[in-house]
Structure 1
């Protein structure tokens, strides 16, 4: 069977089944007696097993096969659902996700699955979870070797042993401050190959070269040197934290007859699931039947996202040419040409809406991974927390969806650690012991808002200001005059944290400034509001799409610049005498508020070619609660433009987020108002 032909489909459908399993397992924890939930989970595991066996991913098939046995026991009431049991099943799903991610990144889908398979086997046999853990702790590492090496590697190990070589497994952990991980790995390989032969590494050599690993890796080495000599060789490489070496007992390997029997079982497994492979060859059919009666045929197709990206790029070029034609039409003043261009503009506008809609995906794809995370962290923190998701069907452009996952993880962790109190503290305040975090998404105009709110303790103003003064962010005098919203904004200062001790959840020196910078890089904003004793809400404002944006075109001397409409409050024309100077800074009184002015001619060092004649054209822009006035020469008008990157060479240009090509063929730079105000 040709894997490449069906690989993309296999990966996408595997992710869908894993997502379904996660969702239904969380529901089953609340309703363990619901037979429909158990059947759905069993069906997902069975389908995934069949696809994995057909595609030749043995580790994936082994786990799902054993999961089936456990789920079947639950379905037949021979196994009782408990929180500890679900921990093992969730752990199994985590391993499955790791394998699928490895496959999607070009790996072979190999993992050491013996430990998790044995846990599932013990559950199937009726052993308690504690007994299972104890049994696994004393289990010999040698019994896992059969799963770590393929037939060829086992043969090499056995023959090398007969020739007097030692077979060592060296587990190497790099220091956390290691900068060039791939270089250190190369140096380790180099010193080991001086004393023997490296026959295997985990992760693979390709993954190590691409730094697709954390800080540790394992090498299988054949050598005649001792363990002490090998370890001394490895420690000659700098930035090595620690090394553990164990000798492989090759005598424990299965005999060749047992291996052949295993292969026969695997082949029969593939034949048994051959019908499932048909689902991989026909994308118009559902991978599995739904509950109840047969569903109608699905009138959808899978489209590779690269094709949509290419389509979007081509349409962006069409938008540029449309602007050119509109300009030519205005200059020519030909009625027939004007009508044709107008009709083409309407058609291309409709086409633009269709293409943008095709790229829109529901935020559910990001939100669905959080219930599992909340469950696990709540246990780690010894807290009772439920997650309420609202508006998961809200759609965003795929490019935005890809970027918001990490900021949301950070905000959710923040709410769990800093926001929600421990059950005893909540009870003493008259609150339910279980805290609630609400993750909400909704459309508003040309933006999508995502809110992370909790019913916890709220933000302690005094604690925030004390820490800010201690870190030198503000002075003691200023802390007493700040409004609450200004105090809450301090949470976004670089490296700011109110955590008293370092933990896996917070207090790691990486503050909410990371979230703010990420959201602003997407053209969005993040706000925070809090009521002491009641809770805190973080609001993220995001654009619907990043590629085609609405701007105000302005003239700065003889040059044209674009200002995103999402940053503009309004425009104004003022007299020179209305401009005041405060602390060497030009300001104006804008609706009772002092607004600083930024003269873009001076800021960008644009050659002067025009005089203002006693009047100034001002664009009032906003970044969060801060506003500023940008001084320009004149307003040209609103326009939809295609945002183009300046490329790596000009990536460090300050206050410029990109460029666009105008209808007259000129290039206009797009201002980054967030950087200007900052």
Structure 2
């Protein structure tokens, strides 16, 4: 069998377990006496080790095994967690994540973890010298006559055995006992494994393969295997090996697998099934039956959720986009033909496709928690390196965004959080001097508002020193001294987003190289979003990121400029109206109009796009669209309104990138192509 068929499942579940390990270790660091957290960490590590060994990633399994040894001592109250142990375990997690990333990239998951393993082993040795008697592993320390947790399957191994049934293979539980006078136990075990691997695939062994190779077992061992031959044939082939006292091959079904699978939250575990001829006490039978029932209920709940490859969702979205274009075309034809039965059919199709559109869009929605969950560990490490005390408070992690947006916002948020940790939160001494709590707080929150999602990073640190910002901006040539006198408070704060801008007094691994916030603004703008900053010196700073819910299908206002049609996203439109040329003002050579007790600039779209057959200067009255970008407004002059429509955003391709004021294109119902205006580019 080809275990690569399970690689995708392995990667997904490994990432889940690594994230769980990170989160639980952070919780344990805050509550080091809570052994229930240690149990959760141990189970995740144990499962990850079993998965890695099953897939043949021995380096990953070996490192996890060493971490598991330390955790086993902690959960048995033989070792107390301290700063060194936490740091070592976190380094181990970083190495495990790097190995999984290597596997994702097509590698073998190998890495040099000698230093980390040495540190883990030193923890075990120091514990032994202190008078405790640590066990080498939880798998080899079970009392004689009792089954250890190693005798059970984890969820991943159980899934592989279940899937093997669907592909026509047979899962077996094999118990092998060697002769009393067997001298080369490891050699006999190897011969048994050779038979099993020639006829199928070994999923798990008890004791582990490493222990079998080192002869760390008595006379018997057990194996879960997937085979292509009947149980009787497999038993016969193993029995033909010399010095084998007995062989039992027990076929497995879904029910027996359920009773053999360790529940994620269970502290106690059940033993593997006994051969058919072995006797069980009535109490044991009742206990096994109750255990079998519990996973069955859990399996039903898990079965209501499936993993779907993002490429398939992209394909579904593209197909629906074509359907949406045809729907608009049908609506147009129905209005021209004017047949009641056709109109009714098209209207019904429009309602159904609208419902389908909502479902397709929701399928692509992912909670921002998938991005937020890596930040507690990052902030913890940064705070420790800077000798600061910081609490990260996350709210609204269940807020959903389109997967394409989720994939892009990680790096900008990393920059904002690093900036808050380094520049925002003061040192403990400075906070106490300012009358603040010694522990700084960073709030990371997300929430919906209309067709947008807002993500805010707010801290109670020193705030922005505007005087220092202005001096740096003038020194770096971002603005002139004359221009600096005209800036208001918000405009001064926004200077920190200028390319190459940095107020750091010294260069470090975290900041001072002039790379950071300009990247944030560029990335957020490219996603059709906006970022603003509000700060009060001495009290703190808040960064607010505004993002569109989705980038695939948007609501837009269709307009005309002569013979050309364009689309402007509704999310940027404040209102529409008519403006007379006589009401326009001339301010320093720029056309302006009065709007809501303020004066806003007028933008000629025909001039920006160099429209060949429309000139609004010949008209006394012009159609007007008021657009907004953050706190800035502008009135855009157009020829004619066509109306509101749902449009499918199409890329212009790599040969037509960076066209001023154009963000993409869409296909209209009549088959024409309309360019999509980027409102952000029209406001300076």
Task: Pick the TM interval, shorter chain.
Answer: 0.7 to 0.9
1:416 is matched with: 421
1:224-235 equivalences in 2 (<5 Å): none
Shift of 1:88: 0.2
Give the distance between the partners of 2:8 and 2:393, measured in 1 at CA.
Answer: 32
1:531-581 deviation per Cα after TM superposition (whole angstroms, max 9, x unaligned): 221111001111111100111111111111001111111112011111233
1:563 correspondence with 2:568: yes
Match of 2:451 in 1: 446
Select the residue among 611, 622, 635 that pairs with 1:629: 635
Q: Which moved more, 1:443-452 or 1:299-308?
A: 299-308
1:546 to 543, 551, 570: 551
Alpha-carbon separation, structure 1, partners of 2:534 and 2:100: 39
Q: How many positions carry a matched residue from both structures?
A: 548
Shift of 1:489: 1.1
| Equivalent residues in 2 for 1:60-139, closer than 5 Å | 60-126=60-126
Match of 2:654 among 648, 657, 662: 648
Distance 2:613 2:478 in 1: 39
Between structure 1 and structure 2, the one with the greater Rg is 2
Range moving further from structure 2, 298-307 or 632-641: 298-307
Q: Equivalent residues in 2 for 1:176-575 (5 A)?
A: 266=209, 274=224, 288-290=263-265, 296=298, 297=300, 298=302, 299-575=304-580
Quote how far apart the aligned CAs of 1:287 are.
8.5
Partner in structure 2 of residue 639 of structure 1: 645
Contact 1:279 1:287 in 2 (8 A): no
In 1, the alpha carbon distance for the partners of 2:370 and 2:208 equals 37
Q: Distance in 1 between matches of 2:538 and 2:574?
A: 34
Question: What is the RMSD computed on CA atoms of the aligned residues?
Answer: 2.8
Name the structure 2 match of 1:185: none
Tell me by how many angstroms 1:592 deviates: 3.0
Report whether the alignment pairs 1:38 with 2:43: no
| Structure 2 partner of 1:211 | none
Distance 1:518 1:51 in 2: 37
2:389–2:438 contact (8 Å) kept in structure 1: yes
Structure 2 alignment gaps of length 5 or more: 130-186, 195-206, 214-220, 228-251, 268-293
SS in 1 for 2:412: helix
Please give the per-residue CA displacement for 1:365-408, whole angstroms capped at 9, x wherever unaligned: 11110111111111111111111111111111111110000000
Q: Structure 2 vs 1, CA of residues 119 and 481 (structure 1 numbering), >3 Å: closer, same or farther? A: same
Match of 2:669 among 663, 667, 671: 663
Is contact 2:79-2:127 (8 Å) kept? Answer: no
Contact residue 400 and residue 546 of structure 1 kept, 8 A: yes
Residues in 1 aligned to 2:508 and 2:222: alpha-carbon distance in whole angstroms: 48
Name the counterpart of 1:251: none
The 1:514–1:525 alpha-carbon spacing in structure 2 relative to 1, beyond 3 Å, is same
Distance 1:497 1:626, change over 3 A: same
- How many angstroms apart in 2 are the aligned matches of 1:289 and 1:82? 26
SS at match of 2:126: coil
Distance in 2 (CA, whole Å) between partners of 1:279 and 1:426 is 63
- Measure how far apart 1:462 and its partner are: 1.0
The match for 2:283 is: none
Matches within 5 A, 1:575-614: 575-608=580-613, 613-614=619-620
Given that residues 528 and 548 in structure 2 are in contact (C-alpha distance below 8 angstroms), is that contact kept between their aligned partners in structure 1?
A: yes
- After superposition, the Cα gap between the structure-2 partners of 1:466 and 1:273, relative to the gap in structure 1 and judged at 3 Å, is farther
Structure 1 residues 502 and 286: CA distance shift in structure 2, 3 A? farther
C-alpha contact (below 8 Å) 2:559/2:639 kept by paired residues: yes
1:254 maps to what in 2?
none
Quick one: distance in 1 between partners of 2:226 and 2:551? Answer: 40
My pick for the range that moved more, 66-75 or 114-123, is 114-123
Query: In the alignment, is the contact (CA less than 8 A) between 1:575 and 1:614 conserved in 2?
Result: yes
C-alpha distance in structure 2 between counterparts of 1:274 and 1:370, whole Å: 39
Report the 3-state secondary structure (helix = DSSP H, G, I; strand = E; otherwise coil) of the residue aligned with 2:627.
strand
3-state SS of paired residue (1:126): helix
* CA–CA separation in structure 2 for the residues paired with 1:312 and 1:279: 39
Q: What whole-Å deviation, never above 9, does each CA across 1:430-462 have from its counterpart, x for those lacking one?
A: 111110101001111111111000010111111
Q: What CA distance in whole angstroms lies between the structure 2 residues aligned with 1:394 and 1:290? A: 27
Q: CA deviation at 1:594?
A: 2.4
Instruction: Check conservation: 1:552, 1:637, Cα contact below 8 A.
Output: yes
Specify the SS of the correspondent of 2:612. Answer: coil
**SS of 1:649's equivalent?**
helix
Q: Aligned partners of 1:486 and 1:501: how far apart in 2?
A: 25
CA-CA distance at 1:613 after TM superposition: 4.0
In the alignment, the residues of structure 1 paired with residue 334 and residue 614 of structure 2 have an alpha-carbon distance, to the nearest angstrom, of: 29
Query: Could you say what secondary structure the match of 2:33 adopts?
Result: coil
Q: Deviations over 1:634-656 (max 9, x none)?
A: 11111111000000011131211
Find the residue that maps to 2:534 and give its secondary structure. Answer: strand
CA distance in 1, matches of 2:222, 2:645: 60
How far 1:106 sits from its partner (Å)?
Answer: 1.2
Checking the alignment, whether the CA contact within 8 Å between 1:324 and 1:663 is kept in structure 2 is yes
In structure 1, C-alpha distance between the alignment counterparts of 2:209 and 2:261, rounded to whole Å = 26
State the TM-score, normalizing by the size of structure 2: 0.76
Check conservation: 1:79, 1:126, Cα contact below 8 A.
Answer: no
Return 5+ residue gaps in structure 1 as ranges: 130-256
1:303–1:397: structure 2 CA closer, same or farther, 3 Å change rule?
same
Cα distance, 1:272 vs. partner? 6.8
The answer on whether the counterparts of 2:420 and 2:459 sit within 8 Å (CA) in structure 1 is yes
